[in-house]
A and B are shown apart, each in its own frame.
Chain A
Amino acid sequence: MALVEIRDVYKTFTRGAERIDVFTGLTLDVEQGSFTALMGPSGSGKSTLLNLIAGLDRPTSGTVRVNGAEVSAMTPAQLATWRSEHVGFVFQSFNLLPVLTAFQNVELPLLLTRLSKRERDERIRIALGVVGLDDRMDHYPRQLSGGQEQRVAIARAIVADPTLVLLDEPTGQLDAKSSQEVLTLLARLNDEFGKTILIVTHDPAASGRARRQLHLEKGTFVEQGSLVP
């Protein structure tokens, strides 16, 4: 059984009188421990797909299952709890809370757990250590470079040890060097820590790091390459 199972998903947006059919019967499996790059032209539905997997949005029909749980059938309250336990989400624009330090930003997901202050501190240190920012804990986002901000965001996404890490164009706002650092980090998370990673990207360098590339066009996969079985 695949970690993520998307079955016959339809997604339609209506904007006024206009109907946008993003997916018409999409099916996809993402294996546990895989590192997948999702590519495709703007408007092809990449972000929409991540949102559906993360339970931030619902399919018009069809089912989305993650680790056996039917995400597409959960109530909003169930989804919130489920997300806090299973999903780490990273955005193109970092989305750190500007009023919180790097440490406090990484702590946000842990505030939803039953961990004690000591246990939280320890996990935050580990997460910031993994992304190489244990010396920047007390910095505010505005005191960090874009690449550092994105690494804090990744620390925030992995600190609660999620089943799945979803990244929507995480290198879109970074220069080449910072992008490389982030990609190396992701590869390490996949290799060393066995994290399942799904990354949306326009960047060939980024997709090159992934083990599997998916090309989305007008809501369907045009070719599915799998370098590693």
Chain B
Amino acid sequence: MKFWSLLRANLGRHKRRTFLTIASVALALFLFASLRSVITTIGMAAQFGSARRLVTTNATGFVLPLPVSYANRLETVPGVEKVTWANWFGGRYGDGKRFFATFAVDAKSYLDIYPEMSVPADQKEAFLQDKGGALIGVRLVNLFGWKVGQNVTLQGTIFPGDWTFTIRGVYTPTDPAINDDALMFHYDYLDERAGRPGNAGWYILEIDKPDNAAQIAKTIDDQFRSSSAPTKTGTEQAFNASFATMWGNIGLLMNTIGLAVVFAILLVTANAMMMSARERTRELAVLKTIGYSDRLLFGLVLAEAGLITITGAVLGLGAAKLLYRATNFNAAGFLPGFDVSWGTMATGGVIALVLMLASGIVPAMQAARLPVVTALRSVE
């Protein structure tokens, strides 16, 4: 590209202005990528979940419990192969600034149904053997420096008092949509200390064929319809999606903010491009005198806008991709698997191209149309 030195010299003319313009494009695309990744991560969580798993909750609302005795009856439903259950514990650790999820689970069946939680065999065994033991996500190890064998004490918020567990194992999710910062302990331990109320927060079922999901769900809900605690059964995906829909409006808000930011930056970039083209009216006329064609000058001015927006995009999108990866960001556990997807990167790239066209086309056309004689006279 033999015009490279000309382009570079022009960008270097007002170094601060060029730098600020590139920085604003970079910041805009960084924000765009971040906001968009919140939406895509939620969307991914909603898609997470095996089609072979159903979730049964209390029909009145998933915060209400179901009798733990349902487990046996659920196992007998045709098509159901495995059953487990979990309770939301809601513990607080230390000053509580760093929140993480805590569940009481029926350990053996739970780990059985979630092969995506990988635990070393010896640790798994140790956890299953110890009623006061806990299994923690790998992120908590990094976060608090916890070690296997160590005791940790949580304050119960739903179940008051100090709860001390011995860490027996560390799990690593093989699916990024699974939280890697949860703490799990034995349901038995919770039930005993709470005075054996026999409550299960929700049931997770593994079924034989995904195609039978609707039929099996209907059988289950029909079976419990007239009991004291009617159930609502759906796929794990639907269960996760119901969380995601709570985020739906936030998604809209984020899209709007993202677009507003990009639009604001468009104005900044367009203004910078116009300014630099206007200042150079005379130089553009001189180039025409030398024999630079209208089309070439159009291309050169547009290329300048392109260099600015594309450099900004590479910096902003690259920073977003690398930063969230390097810091293993998951919004304190709310957005497990947070990642700037390649789709978002591509959309960001398209935005950069649109920015280039939108900010560069007017000055480029002005440059192409510039009448040499009047341009040379006007400044002299």
Contact = CB atoms under 8 A, between A and B. Distances in A.
- A and B bound? yes
Interface of A: 51, 54, 56-57, 76-77, 80-85, 87, 89, 91-93, 95, 97-100, 104, 108-109, 111-112, 117, 156
Contacts of B10: 99
Interface residues of B toward A: which range?
Answer: 20 to 34
Interface stretch (B197-205, B221-229, B259-267, B287-295): B287-295
B376 A80 contact: no
23 contacts: A56-B288, A56-B289, A56-B372, A76-B293, A80-B288, A80-B296, A83-B291, A84-B290, A84-B291, A85-B291, A91-B286, A91-B376, A95-B282, A97-B9, A97-B283, A97-B286, A98-B13, A99-B9, A99-B13, A100-B9, A104-B6, A108-B290, A117-B2
Contacts of A117: 2
Interface string B3-34: 10110011011000000000000000000000
A100 B373 contact: no
A91 B282 CA distance: 12
B9 A89 contact: no
Given A97-B9, A99-B9, A111-B2, A80 B291 contact: yes
Nearest to A86: B291
Contact of B289 (A82, A83, A97): A83
Contact of B380 (A76, A92, A108, A112): A92
Given A99-B12, A99-B13, A109 B291 contact: yes
Interface string B150-174: 0000000000000000000000000
Interface of B: 2-3, 5-6, 9-10, 12-13, 282-283, 286-296, 372-373, 376, 380
Contacts of B295: 77
Given A57-B373, A77-B294, A108 B287 contact: yes
Given A80-B288, A91-B376, A100 B6 contact: yes
A104 B6 CA distance: 8
Majority secondary structure, A binding face: helix
Given A84-B291, A97-B286, A99-B9, A51 B380 contact: no
Nearest to A166: B289
A87 B290 CA distance: 8
6 closest Cβ pairs, A-B complex: A84-B291, A80-B293, A99-B9, A83-B291, A95-B286, A89-B289
B291 A81 contact: yes
Contacts of A91: 286, 376
A104 B293 contact: no
A112 B288 CA distance: 11
Contacts of B292: 80, 84, 112
A76 B369 CA distance: 10
Contacts of B296: 80, 112
A77 B293 contact: yes
Given A56-B373, A92-B380, A99-B13, A109 B290 contact: yes
B241 to A, nearest CB: 56
A140 to B, nearest CB: 10
Contacts of B286: 91, 95, 97
B3 A111 contact: yes
A83 B10 CA distance: 24
Contact of A76 (B5, B9, B294): B294
Nearest to B295: A77
A156 B293 CA distance: 17
B289 A54 contact: yes
A100 B3 CA distance: 12
Nearest to B11: A99
A117 B1 CA distance: 11
B351 to A, nearest CB: 29
A140 B289 CA distance: 21
A210 B28 CA distance: 61
A31 to B, nearest CB: 24
Given A56-B373, A95-B282, A100-B6, A112 B291 contact: yes
B276 to A, nearest CB: 11
Contacts of A100: 5-6, 9
A117 B380 CA distance: 34
